[in-house]
Amino acid sequence: MTTTTPIIVLDLRTVQDHFPGIGRYTFHLAQALVEAAPTWRFTLLTQAQGANTRFDVTGLARRPNVTLHAVSQAIFSPQEQITLPRDLPPGDLVHFPTTSSPISAGAGRSSRSTTSSPTCTRPTCPPRFTASSLRSPPAWPWPARRTS
């Protein structure tokens, strides 16, 4: 039986000083995945325009299972929707850590899956559901709204 090595593409364009929260999450996610799956291949999308003085992305690239892939499309830009999909490197899975991901990132590549991490930072959004929160009702930090 022949197995193929999975290729995971991770969008690290938020790993820059302008995005301290999601940038930290994304860097540590990439670091943990690279360490947890040493036989998998990881391609990390980077963007040269954003200043990054906090995280050693090039240090991740020194690992044998990591490749950096620079893209020119800025996050949250029209070019992200228009030209990024065709500039994505080959991979079995593409993960965008924000809700801003190209709509057609998987188009034309039938074996590729795309994921994004939907987050909610507005005070009107409910808290995330986790295994522990499903055991008991969520504690809402704001008053419930009546629908009638």
Average pLDDT of adjacent 10-residue blocks, the chain of 148 residues: 82 92 93 94 89 92 96 87 87 84 56 56 41 44 49
pLDDT score of 130: 42
Q: Which among 95, 31, 20 is positioned nearest to 54, based on CA atoms?
A: 20
pLDDT score of 81: 84
Q: pTM here?
A: 0.70
- Domain ranges in the chain are 7-119
pLDDT score of 125: 40
Residue at 111: amino acid letter? S
Q: Which tokens hold the place of 147?
A: 């629908």
CA distance 38 to 44: 15
pLDDT score of 132: 44
Q: Which residue has the tokens 């009702």?
A: 137
7-119 CATH fold: Rossmann fold (3.40.50)
